[in-house]
Structure 1
Amino acid sequence: MALATTLSATSSETEEPKSVRGRSRFLSQNGRVALTCDKNPKICLIKGSAGPDCCTKKCVNFSTDRLNCGRCGKKCSFGKICCEGKCVNPKTNEKHCGKCGNKCNAKGSCVYGMCSYA
């Protein structure tokens, strides 16, 4: 019985370092190369992408991105949002009242982001 215990302890000791060595080799290998849109602009057209436009190696949407509104690096100031590539104030803009595309009717005006606020 003592011999069986000694053999099992010895075999488990030799197995453990192999698994540790295998893991460290796996982690030391280089992973896949990251694809960026500056090298391949079509990557921005893939489903799930942040947008169809490429700006500083990132996919963005020039129509709605506050940090790249209409073009790379054009930031909308505080309180403004990017709609159709233009920075607008959603509290007063009648074509984008409260949010992009929310158009007030001909008689109403946009006040505090609401059409025809009275």
Structure 2
Amino acid sequence: MKIMKVIFIIAIAMATVIAVNYSITFAGDKYEETMVTATPYVKPFPKRLSRFLAETKNPRAADHCNKDDEICYILEGKNSTCCNNKCMDLSEDKHNCGACKNKCKFTSSCCGGQCVNLTYDKRHCGSCGNKCMPGGYCIYGLCNYA
């Protein structure tokens, strides 16, 4: 029973401390707002305003290559190919590894267009292109572990 009383007293003390701190910070914010509004600085607009103020470019929008690989070569580079109307890098994309819609398993990654297990592959130990020494082995993504 004494433990419950002690816990209750500590909880009440914490609540009062938080309430006092909150009221002090709120009063401080009110003072800072008056200081900020007193300066007559108008920030210039970086771009032209339109009637759609919230309109921004969608970062997940497709490039719309429409099975035309030349668009992907120009936009992305040599390794990109048109998959599902989007430009994809088949050498690194985990969902399109080596070919369109070729998904790697959960534990493997795409390295050079092949699905490899980075924890046990000697050619890609821990990361793509990290080769172990000749005669060495790869365990848990480390060459010659243990």
TM-score grouping bracket, smaller chain normalisation: 0.5 to 0.7
Moved over 6 A (4+): none
How do 1:92-103 and structure 2 match up within 5 A?
Answer: 92-103=120-131
Decide which of 98, 102, 109 is 1:74's aligned counterpart. Answer: 102
Q: Percent identity, aligned pairs only?
A: 47
Structure 2's unaligned 5+ residue stretches are 1-49, 56-61
Structure 2 SS opposite 1:45: helix
Separation (CA, whole Å) in 2 of partners of 1:98 and 1:23? 50
Residue in 1 that maps onto 2:141: 113
1:59 maps to amino acid: C
Residue in 2 that maps onto 1:6: none
Structure 1 residues 23 and 83: alpha-carbon distance in aligned structure 2, compared to 1, 3 A threshold: closer
Residue in 2 that maps onto 1:55: 83
Separation (CA, whole Å) in 2 of partners of 1:35 and 1:77? 26
Per the TM alignment, residue 39 of structure 1 is displaced from its structure 2 partner at its CA by 5.4
Give yes or no for the alignment of 1:83 onto 2:111: yes
2:139 maps to amino acid: V
Per the TM alignment, residue 107 of structure 1 is displaced from its structure 2 partner at its CA by 2.4
Q: How many residues align?
A: 88
2:132 maps to amino acid: C
Q: How high is the TM-score relative to the length of structure 1? A: 0.65
Separation (CA, whole Å) in 1 of partners of 2:142 and 2:127? 10
Residue in 2 that maps onto 1:14: none
Structure 1's unaligned 5+ residue stretches are 1-21, 28-33
Per the TM alignment, residue 88 of structure 1 is displaced from its structure 2 partner at its CA by 0.6
